[in-house]
Chain A
Amino acid sequence: MLVAWKYKERNTIIQRLDPRARWIFLLSLTFSIVQFWDIRFLLFFFVISFGHYFLCRLTWKETRRIWTFVLTLVVVIIGINAVLTGRGGPGEVLKGPKHILWQVEWVVPWVGWTISPNITVEKIVFAITQMVRMLSITVLFIPLAYTFNPNQYGVTFRGLGLPDKVAVSMDLAFRFVPTLARDFSITLDSQRARGYEVERLEGGLIAQIRKMAPLVVPVTINAIVGGEDIVNAMDLRCFGLRKRTWIHKLEYRPRDYVLIGLSVLILAGSTFANLGLGLGNFWMPGWALRLFGF
């Protein structure tokens, strides 16, 4: 059985909006953000993202875990990777003029490859830009699980123009993640009761992966079996017979049109600025160089 995300009614402006308008807003903003590498533009979106986040009125307690996850991902993986390699962005970060802060050459033992993760001012600025960019997108979507009424999952996607079958699948898929989390915790408990200690994984990588089998196998098998059950249960209730009715009805109100208009404006403006005016490429502020004494 699928589990829904922890949704609750909060009586906020965001939750009073039509979920279709909200999706249009989120997608427009996402497609706008990905067009920019210029931190000046990105900060504009960053402010909108956080403004939206605070309007959702989520508490720190309920979002603590997701924030830990997101910050680890953005800072440790994306941030550090960007500082070390400069990859993952536009070419000019690596190609343009370099102001090297710290140079090191390291030869990998046995294989003899040379790695030179030179830290440049450009890479640092790029890392910050990249983190702002990623955070702006992530922060837009964090509230979704908490504020998107599970009752309206399917009808929202249908209302956005997806076919019946895809909309129902999206409804089910949206609930797959919390279901997996629930199954995982039941399996973890069952195996702990058999003396299994996930904290005590020892040995090399392969050995460690093998020792994860008691957790991974039951969860995977359950997911597959659960998928078959869902297909059978849908068949037994005439799914896919003809065009279906959706009992929940969504209706746009004036405020939804305002939001959609705004979204379209932002996306069109961004696209024009980027493609039409050629703005938004990686920007290297002069004061950043001066800050490091160049």
Chain B
Amino acid sequence: MFDQQDTAAPLVIEGLTFRYHTRPKAALRDVSLTLERGELLLVAGASGCGKTTLIRCINGLIPRTYRGDLEGRILLYGQDASGMTMARLSQTVGTVLQDPERQILGSFVLNEVAFGLENLGLPREEIIQRVDETLDYLGISHLRDRETFYLSGGEKQKVALAGVLVMHPSILLLDEPLASLDPASAQEALALFRRLADEGVSIILVEHRVEDALSIHPDRVLFMQEGRTTYYGPPDDLAEVVDYREVKMPAHIVIRRAASDPPPSFVPLIKPDGREPLVTFENVSFAYEEDGPIVIRDVNLTIHRGDVIALLGPNGAGKTTLVKHAIGLLKPRQGRVLVGGHDTREMSVAQIAHTLGYVFQSPSHMLFAPTVREELAFGPKNLGYAEEAITEGVNRAVEIVNLRGLEEYPPLALSFGQQKRVSIAAILAMRSKILVMDEPTAGQDYWNYMAFMDSILQMPGFEAILFITHDLDLAICYASRVILMHEGRIAGDGPPTEVLTDLELLRHCHIVPTSLLQANLKYLPRTGRFMRAEALAHVPVA
């Protein structure tokens, strides 16, 4: 199809500038790059830096779906891409979106993976053969006849990728493909991207988990800030250019660079004390349907006053199901859950919400109000708080999640990261004694989530905090207690220095040790506890 396929670079971008019609400022400014055959290019930067816009310009969604002013040129194998139809573009450029849920169309894996080839009108036998080859290549042949809806996050991501790879694109665009994956699945996915590049596919990997992405040795890195390129070159020099507080870098680099900065001054306000039980799970078992598969098995667990708990475990381990019991949205099939000494079966969710605030994983399912301020006041109003208390709670919540200045904006018009912070603030404003957060850092920049986690832990009024996360480093930096879940059971429970030093247990729970964990293990004899990399930088040499 492309005459110069052998000589010209697969993708050349020259002076690309783009402004969405709906926004006053340009999302991309004068971005240029060249992608060679088999090259793996990492595009990194904080949210709102223009990464996703760049992807949309290449795959044709800009300007075809998203309207705006586009300047500059995009050349595919030497040909100007602006004249090509989406369908023609899509045969060369494959795109995997951030959230596989937004990409999967078919109700069964086979239909889903075959969709693109069906549209190309290939013979049925050839489609089936190519689908089987692709599933085999990705090691997911066993999913072929499964319903897509019931797949785990990691499986969905692979199926979405299969649906693109089956079309044999020579350029692959991956928009934050690790966002919904547990660490083990993320490692697997990264290894796969490396293999594809080695086999000749040119890949643009957009990811803000820079540390993870660097582990597969991208050929080059493009670092963006506010739509501009601030670094474009080999990965080795990236560390010298970017601020380690803004982008998550490998621990040894942070330790080296933070040594010359003043030590961090983070002291959590919430501390373990009298061991008074706040929430108790007694022999809890649960299945969604009466004779359906058991999701939670015989869990015994007590959340004490002063606990800061990180709940870790692979996709589908039952973490969300477990914590939904704490607020009474689910009632155990066997056993009981006590909140403040009362059985959740005898309380309404609204009653429990007075003591326990629960932040859902997805902000888009709860935001409705015309302004951020009204959105945040909704919870406290429902609980019947006085006007002044509501205003005070809302103002403080806005401060903590860094939304100052956006109070009168409609939450639905904000970016995903901002919406997520609104959803956290909406619960903070209710001033519950116990705070439960499901994946609070998903879709957030490193700088932003570290800032609000710092603030939340320094906020007065909380008696216990529990967060579900895939990010082991979040547990290392903040938790006073770590709970590991695996296949509906509690596989480990204790202080981080006990649970996270058991590497065999971590492997069993599909948790991959991070560079920060490794650094902490090295320093542990001297520190006696886990700490963030910036703090490790100031540990005196023995």
Closest residue to A191 on the B side, CB-wise?
A: B366
Cα separation A243 to B121 with both chains bound (whole Å): 6
Selected contact of A244 from candidates B119, B327, B350, B366, CB within 8 Å: B119
Cα separation A197 to B353 with both chains bound (whole Å): 11
Cα separation A54 to B11 with both chains bound (whole Å): 60
What's the nearest-Cβ distance from chain B to residue A236, in Å?
5
B interface, over-half SS: helix
Q: Any chain B CB within 8 A of the CB of A281?
A: no
What's the nearest-Cβ distance from chain B to residue A12, in Å?
20
Closest residue to A241 on the B side, CB-wise?
A: B87
Closest residue to A172 on the B side, CB-wise?
A: B105
B365 touches A194 (CB 8 A): no
Cα separation A111 to B148 with both chains bound (whole Å): 58
B360 touches A244 (CB 8 A): no
Closest residue to A248 on the B side, CB-wise?
A: B111
Cα separation A189 to B327 with both chains bound (whole Å): 10
A193 touches B59 (CB 8 A): no
Q: Any chain A CB within 8 A of the CB of B281?
A: no
B350 touches A195 (CB 8 A): yes
CB within 8 Å of B: which A193-229 residues: 193-197, 213-214, 216-218, 221-222, 225-226, 228-229
CB within 8 Å of A: which B292-334 residues: 324, 327, 329
A residues near B353, Cβ cutoff 8 Å: 192-195
Number of A-B residue pairs at CB separation under 8 A? 173
B105 touches A197 (CB 8 A): no
B residues near A228, Cβ cutoff 8 Å: 65
Q: Any chain B CB within 8 A of the CB of A114?
A: no
Q: Any chain B CB within 8 A of the CB of A233?
A: yes
Cα separation A172 to B365 with both chains bound (whole Å): 21
B65 touches A187 (CB 8 A): no
A residues near B102, Cβ cutoff 8 Å: 1, 226, 229, 233
Size of B's binding interface in residues, CB under 8 A: 70
Q: Any chain A CB within 8 A of the CB of B523?
A: no
Q: Any chain A CB within 8 A of the CB of B64?
A: yes
Closest residue to A175 on the B side, CB-wise?
A: B107
B367 touches A3 (CB 8 A): no
B366 touches A218 (CB 8 A): yes
B residues near A172, Cβ cutoff 8 Å: 105
Q: Any chain B CB within 8 A of the CB of A64?
A: no
B120 touches A2 (CB 8 A): no
CB within 8 Å of A: which B113-131 residues: 114-124, 127-128, 131
Q: Contacts A214-B368, A241-B119, A247-B118: A193 and B327 contacting too (C-beta < 8 A)? A: yes
With most chain A CB atoms within 10 A of its CB, the pick from B97, B110, B117, B119 is: B119
Which range contains the number of A residues in contact with the other chain? Answer: 35 or more
What's the nearest-Cβ distance from chain A to residue B521, in Å?
37
B87 touches A238 (CB 8 A): yes
Cα separation A231 to B318 with both chains bound (whole Å): 32
Selected contact of B110 from candidates A186, A187, A234, A247, CB within 8 Å: A247
What's the nearest-Cβ distance from chain B to residue A260, in Å?
24
A residues near B350, Cβ cutoff 8 Å: 192, 195-197
A218 touches B368 (CB 8 A): yes
B118 touches A246 (CB 8 A): yes
Q: Contacts A240-B87, A243-B121: A187 and B366 contacting too (C-beta < 8 A)? A: yes
**25 residue pairs from A and B, CB less than 8 Å apart:** A150-B107, A150-B147, A183-B365, A189-B324, A189-B360, A190-B366, A194-B379, A195-B383, A196-B382, A218-B368, A228-B65, A235-B64, A236-B59, A236-B95, A237-B119, A238-B116, A238-B119, A238-B120, A239-B115, A241-B88, A244-B120, A245-B117, A245-B127, A246-B124, A247-B124
Known A171-B107, A238-B119; 6 more pairs at CB < 8 Å: A194-B353, A196-B378, A218-B364, A239-B119, A247-B114, A249-B124
